[in-house]
Amino acid sequence: MGKDIAGFNYEFIKLHQENSLWTVTISKPQSLNALSVKIIDELGDFLRQLSEMGFEHARGLIITGEGEKAFVAGADIKELAELNEEQANLFAVKGQSVFHELNLLKIPVVAAVNGFALGGGCELALACDFIVASKNAKFGLPEVTLGLIPGFGGTVRLSRAVGLRKARELIFTGDMIDADEAYRIGLVNEVVPSVADLLPVVNKKFQTVFKRAPVAVAHSKLSVNRSWDLEVEEALKYEAEMFSQLFSTEDAKEGTNAFLNKRKPEFKGI
């Protein structure tokens, strides 16, 4: 059994730890878990602390929403309505910075989408490494219906997930799509029948990842993420650098020795 973590003292996010797997639950169900400044600050604070933990304490992160209606149903519109241009820029930069922390984490991050993932909620899911969605999930970037555009990375990450043409269609129309359509276009990795099935399926994925070398998984994430920012030639050089660095790790020695001796490896994250 895992344990709920009370020591962080957050108001709107709940933490659960089971061995080295962490779960963050966005918990403001009265507003369908809408992203307020307070929630973004709390999530950012936790991610910064998580980034400092070793593999013995943190090897994976799940992000989900409270209840069965919403993962995160967008930003807090009441807060948005009060912003001027300068404040709006600061708000966007804050959200982008926190979501980028998910990319910088050396561990895999999975969004367990349990309902509406709209606006900032869709952008939060896009910032994760995998997305698993329940059948009732809905995805969308409806900002144009408010006279706005996505501000937490949606115009950048959606096209990388589903391609330019589909991203343009979804952003320009602001239309919602269901979980099956999200899976069809490559936005979602897997769709499960119900919210109750989400965490068991995600946990099973992590149990597979946890059998692999932690440092190799971390380097894989770094290399994949950097490849988007570099020209092909530079990305290949970076991959070669990540590949060669692993030859100085104990895990690489253990993995190759285990293979040659026909036994299961025992990785330590070093």
The domains found in the chain, sorted by start residue, are 3-209 (3.90.226.10), 214-260 (1.10.12.10)
Give the per-residue pLDDT at 172: 98
pLDDT digits (tens, 9 = 90+) for 22-69: 999 999 999 999 999 999 999 999 999 999 999 999 999 999 999 999
| pTM for this entry | 0.93
Provide the percentage of residues in the chain whose pLDDT is more than 70: 97
Q: If you average pLDDT over residues 155-171, what whole number do you get?
A: 97
Total Cβ atoms within 10 A of residue 204: 9
Residue 2 pLDDT exceeds 50: no
Give the per-residue pLDDT at 7: 63
Q: Element (H or E) spanning 236, and its range?
A: helix 232-245
| Residues whose CB is less than 8 angstroms from the CB of residue 62 and which lie 6 or more positions away in sequence, other chains included | 21, 22, 23, 24, 109, 110, 111, 112, 199, 202, 206
Residue 133 pLDDT exceeds 90: yes
pLDDT digits (tens, 9 = 90+) for 81-97: 999 999 999 999 999 99
What pLDDT band is residue 5 in, cutting at 50, 70 and 90? low
Residue-averaged pLDDT of the chain: 94
Q: If you average pLDDT over residues 219-245, what whole number do you get?
A: 93
pLDDT digits (tens, 9 = 90+) for 233-253: 999 999 999 999 999 999 999
Residue 3 pLDDT exceeds 90: no
What pLDDT band is residue 6 in, cutting at 50, 70 and 90? low
Rounded CA Rg of the chain: 19
- Please list the residues that pair with 63 across neighbouring strands: 24, 111
Query: Does residue 133 sit in helix, strand or coil?
Result: strand
Residue 266 pLDDT exceeds 50: yes
The C-alpha torsion from 73 through 48 and 55 to 196, rounded to 10°, is -20
- Catalytic machinery residues: 123, 143
Are the CB atoms for 171 and 155 separated by under 8 Å?
A: yes
CA 149 to chain centre: 21
Q: If you average pLDDT over residues 152-158, what whole number do you get?
A: 97
